[in-house]
A and B are shown apart, each in its own frame.
Chain A
Amino acid sequence: MNIQNVEYLKHAYKIAPWRVQRQWLGNALLVVVALAMVATLYLDVTSQAAIAGREIQDLTASISDSQQVSADLQTQLASLTSARVMEQRALDIGFRPMESGEAEYLAVPGYSVLEPDILSSAPILQLSTLTIPPEYNESLLDWMDKKIANSARRVQ
């Protein structure tokens, strides 16, 4: 094929009206698809943030409930094992207070006197050092604002 034929075909292709229309249509579709992608992304991010927010609220309420239940149970247990109740239970099942002359003492090699209980052991993790990344609470507009502000600052 000589050069003249090629130029002819290219010219014919360029002037074909459907070709121009298709270009316009393609560009428009490209914009629509791009917008759809951004919208989808935005919806996805916001829905994830919303779900995370709801879960945090649920977990917070759950923690609070558990702590209250735990405190209630602890208090109930303490009431059930209070000095007065335990003494009465002991008397009811036939025990009586010991007199000073009734105690027998044995030397047990290696035994050490019990110390008061240590109520806590390892320290709790420092949760306050964690922070929620901005992706979880930042909207697309917030993100764009931030980017624009950063760019403006850089330009200055």
Chain B
Amino acid sequence: MRQQYARRTQVLTSVMGFIALAIIVQMTRIQNSAEAAIFRQQASNYAYELHTFYPDRGEIYDRNGHLFAGNKSVYEVGVDLNIVKDPQAIASAVSVGLDMDYSQVLGDILDPADNVSYVVLADFVEAQKALDLQDLKNALQEQSEAGVLGGLTGLEFKSHPQRSYPENSLGSNIIGFVSREGRGYFGIEEKYDTLLAGNPVQALVPTDPNKAFEIPRVLNGTTLVLTINRDLQASAEKILDESLSTYGADGGSIVIMDPRNGELLAMAVTPRMDLNQFWNYGTIYDKASQFNSAISMPYEPGSVTKILTMAAALDSGSVSPGTTYLDTGSILVGGAIIQNWNQEPWGVQDMTGCLQHSLNVCMATLSMQMGAETFYGYMDNFGFGHLTGVDLAGESAGRLKIPGDADWYPVDLGTNAFGQGVTATPIQIMMAASSIANHGRTVTPHALYAMVRDGRQYDVPAQFAGSPISEKTADTLSGMLAVSLESEGSLALVPGYRVAGKTGTAQIPVNGFYDSTQTNASFIGWGPVDDPQFMIYVWLERPSASIWGSETAAPVFGEMAAKTVILLDIPPDSIRQQLVAK
């Protein structure tokens, strides 16, 4: 009996063991079969998903740490169609909360596109509005009975960053804007778009939440610190707006630069736009060049160019400050008669008198005396016809016709000398004039002071663009310009500060002829003359109160300079010289 049991047990054990062995063999076979490899491959395809980590866009500050452009949270409001309980309630809440059309919202929920389980009702919703809706959803959920879904079940909120401009329209022409697709347009936003946007990082993220993975380190976009002084910018815009009203001008610009290093301190233009509502761009501007006319809109600058002609004449040795000539009121150049602005003779004048009375005949005489090669050589060195390289998007180079060009005529040698027949932007003329204010060295205008990335700050050094004239010529001419302003009692003068500068009144060509009733009034000046710390360019388009730059742009310069010395803490000359002497 006992042996029989033992035998049965052995048989049973053998059978069980065989079955177990068969299972193990089968498992091993399946695990290593060709089908298993396919399944493993399929599983591995879904084990990880490629995820793109987008960095936050870098911020933009003014030189004193005031935020010009940052990021804020906005919301995408949508509906999860799989769990919607009451479409009418959602449509009602969303239409009221987000000022949307009720029937449109309801239609989106009830009649979605095929195979869609989530519908976006609105995007870029302000945080407060989205949070109010979220509170309403939560309140309805709390009020509903236990186990019953609230009326707004299915309404979903997803936050994401959006560009924000706390200063609204202040400095809009410098900053530019970022579209909803994240691309920068105009100004700093476009010029440094790649730096600001940063580099997205792609990484394989395991779909299994139980698997730990290394989060890639995504560096935020580079933060930029501008050379712009926010308070000076605000003052410049205010003064520009007031002057447009006072002088009845169509538009204008005021640009303030440090002539020692090319740092742009302010750049006010009209019109401006609220960058937080960039979608209004098309209604504010007719063409892209209007966004920042100070760098994008070349015009015939007129008599402000005379300082460059005089610089060339002095530097080439054609004349000296004391050189005199007899002004007869007109001169024949290339078969055309060039006259003074008042069509009157001014008699014997020295070079300071030429500048003080802004004599066209004198300038035409100088350019002819220098000859086309020398004159245009200097103009080329001053940067006419070339981009300045200012770090703002959309710069235009203007035009300087030179001998050999199809549209250059001998009379151009005379008219170009006083700023007619040549086009340039305010920033170009400032760059050219910086060589006079900065003792012969031309600076490259720029708006970027520093970059901050990965916890490190990199200061942008000043760049110089050559020395078209000698230091002696520059200092001599500065003095002559200061004397000419003082002699005529210019409205550009600033009590307590010695400034140098020049007005410009340029007739505007209409249908191929200059219209004497429409002018561009300009003024370029800098100070204090013995230690220039600011250079200001004023441009008023078609002022109706007076066509003359001396009566419109010059007083605007005076007002702007008076404000600038306060905001930049520049003491009056007498005090400053005392401080230096100590």
Chain A interface (Cβ within 8 Å of chain B)? 46, 49-50, 52-54, 56-57, 60, 67-68, 71-72, 74-79, 81-84, 87, 98-101, 103, 105, 107, 113, 116-124, 127-128, 130-132, 136-137
Contact = CB atoms under 8 A, between A and B. Distances in A.
A124 B455 contact: yes
B126 to A, nearest CB: 11
A46 B210 contact: yes
Nearest to B578: A107
Nearest to B167: A82
5 contacts: A56-B213, A56-B215, A74-B67, A75-B72, A107-B579
Given A100-B565, A117-B64, A119-B65, A83 B210 contact: no
A116 B66 contact: no
Nearest to A50: B210
B495 A53 contact: no
B280 interface: no
Nearest to B234: A83
Interface string B151-175: 0000000010100101110100000
Interface string B309-320: 000000000000
B56 A72 contact: no
Given A71-B56, A122-B455, 16 more contacts: A49-B210, A57-B209, A72-B73, A75-B166, A76-B72, A84-B168, A84-B170, A87-B234, A100-B566, A101-B495, A105-B572, A107-B579, A117-B65, A119-B450, A120-B456, A127-B217
Contacts of A71: 56, 70-73, 161
Interface of B: 56, 59, 61, 63-67, 70-73, 127, 159, 161, 164, 166-168, 170, 206, 209-217, 223, 225, 230-231, 233-234, 449-450, 452, 454-457, 494-496, 562-563, 565-566, 569, 571-572, 575, 578-579, 582
A123 B212 contact: no
Contacts of A127: 217
A98 B566 contact: yes
A120 B225 CA distance: 11
B286 to A, nearest CB: 27
Q: Chain A interface mostly helix, strand, loop or mixed?
A: helix
Contacts of A118: 457
A79 B168 CA distance: 9
A82 B170 contact: yes
A52 to B, nearest CB: 5
B56 A78 contact: no
A116 B63 contact: yes
Nearest to A55: B212
B73 A68 contact: yes
A105 B575 contact: yes
B582 to A, nearest CB: 6
A101 B495 CA distance: 8
Given A67-B56, A72-B72, A119 B231 contact: no
A83 B456 contact: no
A9 to B, nearest CB: 26
For the complex of A and B, 3 pairs with smallest distance between CB atoms:
A78-B166, A78-B67, A50-B210
Contacts of A52: 212
A71 B58 CA distance: 11
A53 B582 contact: no
A56 B203 CA distance: 15
Given A82-B166, A100-B495, A100-B562, A75 B71 contact: yes
Nearest to A87: B234
Contact of B225 (A54, A103, A119): A119
A118 B61 CA distance: 11
A137 B205 CA distance: 12
Which residue, of B56, B65, B166, B582, has the highest number of chain A Cβ atoms within 10 A? Answer: B166
Contacts of A121: 455
Given A71-B56, A116-B63, A60 B215 contact: yes
Contacts of A76: 72
Given A75-B67, A84-B170, A103 B215 contact: no
Nearest to A71: B71
A52 B215 CA distance: 13
